[in-house]
Amino acid sequence: MNNPEPENFGAHSRRTFFKSLGTVAATAATAQVRSVAAELEKANAESVIGPGAVPVTLKVNGEKLKLTLEPRVTLLDALRNYSSLTGAKEGCDRATCGACTVLLGDTPVYACQKLAIEAQGYEITTVEGLAKKGNLTKVQQAFLQKDALMCGYCTPGFLMSVTALLRKNPKPTADDVKHACAGNICRCGTHPRILQAALSAAGVATASKTEVVNYV
């Protein structure tokens, strides 16, 4: 079956092409930026919009991003291809791997299975937004200390899942960590180290060696 989406942009990479389409990262200070509230009201009014590109305002890592997107653009594509936020990774694009995990408020979701237009009005956090002023969070430090990554492709997703878990449940058990991270898959098999890192970031005495090794 034909794939109706254009893939080939000649000299442009997909990402630079998308970015040249008029993406503007606006700071709150920019004059004449309509308020997010007004944008939201417009986006959520009961009117039919698209299929052509429409203005979409996302609040990512505390900064407003004013984008022009077709309604079909996923939040993941908006971050990676229409902004410079490539921290959230695309693994499956089908809600089955967790590499694209971002937070909406405090809630981890798959950015590949959500439209950018639906994410307006939320405080979106990607892995880029975790460290403040270059200081890694406890969870990030624990991942480093426990050597919880190999290729690192799954790491941003796991960091978001563990960060969300510890906000909701600061003293999780090993089972809580496994339950919270079941939707993140690491093809390099670093799961036991990730479990150790999550528990150590929470200050929970590391589970027995067998419990950690028997990660399923």
Partner 1 sequence: MKAFQYATAHSTDSARELVAGNGLYLAGGNDLFGLLKEYLVGADLLVNIKSLPGLNKVEHGKTFWTIGSLVTVAEIEDHAEIKKVFPGLHDAAAEIASQQIRNVATVGGNLAQHSRCWYFRHRDTQCLKKHGDLCYARDGENRYHSLFTGNSCISPVVSSLATTFAALDATAIVLRDGQETRMSMAELYHGAWENPLAHNSLDKGDLILRVEIPTTRTRSAYLQVSDKHAFDWALVSCAAAAAVVDGKLKSPRVALGSISPVPHQVEAANSFLDGKVLDDATATQAADLILKDAKPLEHNAYKVPMAHAIIRRTLLKLKGDA
Per CB under 8 A, residues contacting partner 1 are 1, 4-5, 43-52, 70-72, 74, 93-96, 98, 101, 107-110, 112-115, 117-118, 161, 164, 178-184, 216
- What is the smallest separation between the CB atom of 76 and partner 1, expressed in angstroms? 11
| End-to-end C-alpha distance for the chain, whole angstroms | 37
**153 interacts with ligand FES by CB under 6 A:** yes
**78 interacts with ligand FES by CB under 6 A:** no
- What is the smallest separation between the CB atom of 24 and ligand FES, expressed in angstroms? 26
By CB under 6 A, the count of residues binding ligand FES is 22
Residues that bind ligand FAD (CB under 6 A): 95-96
Please tell me the distance from the alpha carbon of residue 69 to that of residue 21, in angstroms, as a whole number. Answer: 9
- What is the smallest separation between the CB atom of 183 and ligand FAD, expressed in angstroms? 8
**187 interacts with ligand FES by CB under 6 A:** yes
Residue type, 212: V
- What is the smallest separation between the CB atom of 70 and ligand FES, expressed in angstroms? 19
50 C-beta neighbours (distance < 10 Å), count: 12
Picking from 181, 65, 180, the residue whose alpha carbon sits closest to that of residue 119 is: 65
Residue type, 84: S
Picking from 167, 78, 63, 191, the residue whose alpha carbon sits closest to that of residue 125 is: 63
At residue 23's C-alpha, the angle toward residues 164 and 11, to 5°, is: 110
**69 interacts with ligand FES by CB under 6 A:** no
Q: Which two tokens stand for residue 50?
A: 């698209």
- Give the three-class secondary structure for 93: coil
Give the bridge partners for 46, in sequence order: none
Instruction: Work out whether strand 107-110 and strand 24-25 pair parallel, antiparallel, or are unpaired.
Output: unpaired
- What is the smallest separation between the CB atom of 109 and partner 1, expressed in angstroms? 5
**39 interacts with ligand FES by CB under 6 A:** no
Give, as ranges, the residues between 79 and 98 that touch ligand FES (CB under 6 A): 90-93, 95-98
Site for ligand FES (CB under 6 A): which residue of 57, 120, 126, 190? Answer: 190
Q: Which residues bind ligand FES (CB under 6 A)?
A: 90-93, 95-100, 110, 112, 149-154, 186-188, 190
